[in-house]
Structure 1
Amino acid sequence: MAIRKIVMYPADILETKCSKVEVFDKKLVKLLNDMYDTMIEFDGVGLAAPQIGIDKQIAIVDIGDENGTIELINPEIIETSGEQSGPEGCLSFPNLYGEVSRPYKVKVKAQDRKGKLFTFEAEEFMARAIQHEIDHLNGILFTSKVSRYLTEEELEGVEGQ
Structure 2
Amino acid sequence: MDEHNDGGAEAFEKLTSLLDYPMFVVMTAAGDHRSGCLVGFTSQTSIHPARFLVGLSRKNHTFGVAADADHLAVHLLPRTELDLVRLFGEKTGDTTDKFTQCAWHPGPRGMPILDAAAGWFVGRVLRRFDVGDHVGHLLEPVAGSAPENLGDLITFSDVRDLEPGHEA
Normalised to the residue count of structure 2, the TM-score between the two structures is 0.28
Structure ranking higher in helix proportion: 1
Normalised to the residue count of structure 1, the TM-score between the two structures is 0.29
> Which structure: larger Rg?
2
